[in-house]
Amino acid sequence: MDKDKELSKLKKKILKFNKNFPKKNLVFADGNKNSQVMIIGEAPGKTEDKLKKPFVGRAGKLLDELLNCIHLDRTKVYITNVVNYRPDKNRKPTPEEINEFKKLLFKHIEIISPKCILLLGATAAAAVLNHIGPLSEVRGKWKNIKIINSYFDILTTFHPAFLLRQPARKKSTLEDLHEFKRKLSS
């Protein structure tokens, strides 16, 4: 598969999904498209919309710090979001939007074809695992899920924006990340 060609086809498709996001920029992805690691967040915020890159605001800085703890950085991971446009007033994406973008996200996962996927927070868990309910039910647990035609190892942890509000949860996030690194290196 020609990843560049597939990614640019996908980008063109996502550009047509902007009707609920007037005047917002497409925030597609960042990092290494050949990485074994794919990280999936919720949706871009104000800074991400401005710079057209995922996780470049405060939550993104924290994500970079956490990744550094397991010796990863943006040259070694691929980062995207469930929804590729900033919802107005930082609202959460609606279940309908999650459902709509999910098909595109699954195609994105198929193209990147990572060894391990890290989901950040409840929106990513809802889209990829179909999990509706407390994050604690899936956090820190490996799932092996079929996406389109292949199975993927997927771990869920807290979203860095949540950790900015609840720093006490950083400890369990780091435990999740070390578990993630263990599987990645196995």
Torsion angle defined by CA atoms of residues 119, 120, 126 and 130, in that order, rounded to the nearest 10 degrees: 20
User: Which segment (49-57, 64-72, 92-100, 175-183) binds ligand URA by CB under 6 A?
Assistant: 49-57
User: Which segment (18-26, 57-65, 127-135, 140-148) binds ligand URA by CB under 6 A?
Assistant: 57-65
Q: Which tokens is 108 given? A: 């994105």
Question: Quick one: 31 or 41, whose CB is closer to ligand URA?
Answer: 41
Q: Contact with ligand URA (CB under 6 A): which of 161, 163, 177, 184?
A: 161
The pairing of strands 142-147 and 78-81 is: unpaired
> Cα dist. 160→4, 45, 98, 157 in Å?
29, 13, 19, 9
Question: Quick one: 8 or 90, whose CB is closer to ligand URA?
Answer: 90
| DSSP structure class, residue 151 | E
**Which residue number has the CB closest to ligand URA?**
41
Q: Contact with ligand URA (CB under 6 A): which of 43, 72, 112, 126?
A: 43
In angstroms, what is the minimal distance from the CB of 43 to ligand URA? Answer: 6
For residue 6, which of 114, 111, 87, 138 has the smallest C-alpha distance?
111
Q: Which of residues 65-84 bind ligand URA (CB under 6 A)?
A: 81
- 55 contributes a contact to ligand URA by CB under 6 A: yes
Beta-carbon contacts of 118 under 8 Å, excluding residues fewer than 6 positions away, are: 37, 38, 39, 40, 154, 155, 156, 157, 177, 180
137: amino acid identity, one letter: E
Question: Quick one: 86 or 107, whose CB is closer to ligand URA?
Answer: 86
Residues near ligand URA (CB under 6 A): 41-45, 48, 54-55, 57, 59-60, 81, 161
